[in-house]
A and B are shown apart, each in its own frame.
Chain A
Amino acid sequence: MCIAIPGKITSILNENTATVDIGGIKREVNLDLIGGADSSLIGKHALVHVGYAISLISDEESEEVLKLLRDVMDLS
């Protein structure tokens, strides 16, 4: 039930909704929960759950995860 799929916001349809590309499939997704649809979001990735974007996906996460991995495993 809490499954959420990452997708890329490709166009804004109106103040509430955007087109999101989820693995090559285009979906209309409501953006109310992340502050509404606005053109600055085009190109960003969002987590989509039951037709709504619930959060934006951070572009800087990979470095953060590498740090967590290093901390826990002393990776070189």
Chain B
Amino acid sequence: MENIEQKLISRINEHATPLRIMHVCGTHERTISKYAIRDIISDDVQLLSGPGCPVCVTPVEDIDFAIELARSGKVITSFGDMMRVPGTTGSLFDARSDGYDIRMVYSIDDAIKIAKDNPTLEIVFFGIGFETTAPSNAAALLRGVPENFSILTSHKLMPPAMEILTRDTNVDGFLAPGHVSTIIGTEKYDQISEKGFPIVVTGFEALDVLLGIAMVQNQLETGRSCVENAYPRCVNVEGNLKAREMLYQVFKKTDSKWRGIGMIENSGLALKKEFDQFDAVNVHADIYKELHEKRASESDNVDGENRLYEECICAEILTARAQPPQCPLFGRRCSPEAPVGPCMVSLEGTCYNWYKYRHNKGI
């Protein structure tokens, strides 16, 4: 089994026919960019980057709400990636520079500890992430959180977005996200594969990604389209039943807006009624209502985006309708040091990874 990667690369290239495989996970983009997988496999096999970075698909409205909460004296706690994504009037980091209390945390438990240590302050946790991340927030709420703690929920579910992409994007098959699949299992993708799209649940080492590509290729060669699991060390058919049970004790599915795609039916999570006292939209309803009334009355908002970002094509990048070098800002006015759009902010963003691993190498 020596040189297994080399054998896989040869297999992919010897069988190469025009093929568009989309991944929907920022960590896959990191692996693909870091190991230059696009450059070592045939140009016929195109690897498309889908909306797999939760930071990138978080709508501007949610960022604006978090900043508005901070301006009204609440403490905002957030994962680091979310801190730099621009909203209408700047990012959470910008708001922190203006003197508002915004703190970076590594888990919801860190945010809960801040709430317990500061009973006179109101703490809001910015809850972003896909099916991988949302169960931890459910577990925390089920264990019990202090009264001065609430969640701004912006969680998204991956299969409904993949479903939309099969209709709106030219794609032949998918590498399904390995860690999302640890929670949801492999059956949730059946409906999509039955429409004729091969799906392979894929891990995150270079070898995993190459295996995923070869397996999608193999399905198409043999006229099959089903869900296969190339990440069995972490993923099984039914997924993590306990995590899903906890998730849906706390959350219910809801329609949700994705940056770059728009509203997708049943693609988000909202807190159930019995958790209203911990739902930032409910707890701080006055601020939420005022912000949305203000947005509705402002004529310079186009579909929720500020004209500052008119030149930014993150929406096209997120749905694989364009690649980063096609953006007029890429590597010029938009870089990881000074990002304009969300895809350049996150370590998982497509633009960030193309810039980091390709831009300065003349690729």
Chain A binder among B104-112, B255-263, B332-340: B104-112
Given A34-B240, A34-B242, A51-B136, residue A75 in contact with residue B130 (CB < 8 A) = no
* Interface: A24 (CB within 8 A): no
* Interface: A73 (CB within 8 A): yes
A50 to B228, CA, bound (A): 27
Question: In angstroms, how far is the closest chain A Cβ from the Cβ of B347?
Answer: 9
Measured CB to CB, the residues of A under 8 A from B are: 1-4, 16, 30, 32-35, 47, 49-52, 54-55, 57-58, 61-62, 64-66, 68-69, 71-73, 75
Given A50-B133, A72-B218, A73-B214, residue A4 in contact with residue B139 (CB < 8 A) = no
Task: Please give 13 more A-B residue pairs, beta carbons under 8 A apart, in addition to A33-B240, A73-B8.
Answer: A2-B25, A2-B26, A2-B129, A30-B136, A32-B246, A47-B234, A51-B107, A54-B183, A55-B240, A58-B233, A61-B232, A69-B1, A73-B7
Residue from the set A33, A34, A47, A73 with the largest chain B CB neighbour count within 10 Å: A33
Question: In angstroms, how far is the closest chain B Cβ from the Cβ of A9?
Answer: 15
The A-contacting residues of B in range 108-133, CB under 8 angstroms, are: 108-110, 128-130, 132-133
Question: In angstroms, how far is the closest chain A Cβ from the Cβ of B290?
Answer: 30
State whether B177 touches A2 (Cβ < 8 A).
yes
State whether B143 touches A1 (Cβ < 8 A).
no
State whether B130 touches A50 (Cβ < 8 A).
no
* Interface: B4 (CB within 8 A): yes
The A-contacting residues of B in range 1-26, CB under 8 angstroms, are: 1, 4, 7-8, 11, 25-26
List of B residues within 8 angstroms of A1 by Cβ: 26, 53-55, 79, 81, 128-130, 132-133, 346, 348
Closest B residue by C-beta to A67: B232
Give me 25 A-to-B residue pairs in the complex whose CB atoms sit less than 8 angstroms apart, sorted by A's number: A1-B54, A1-B55, A1-B81, A1-B129, A1-B132, A1-B133, A1-B348, A2-B26, A2-B133, A30-B109, A33-B243, A47-B179, A50-B106, A50-B136, A51-B109, A52-B135, A52-B136, A55-B234, A61-B233, A68-B230, A72-B215, A73-B7, A73-B8, A73-B11, A75-B1
State whether B234 touches A69 (Cβ < 8 A).
no
Closest A residue by C-beta to B230: A68
List of A residues within 8 angstroms of B177 by Cβ: 2
List of B residues within 8 angstroms of A64 by Cβ: 232-233
Closest A residue by C-beta to B7: A73
State whether A55 touches B182 (Cβ < 8 A).
yes
State whether B27 touches A33 (Cβ < 8 A).
no
The A-contacting residues of B in range 237-257, CB under 8 angstroms, are: 240, 242-243, 246
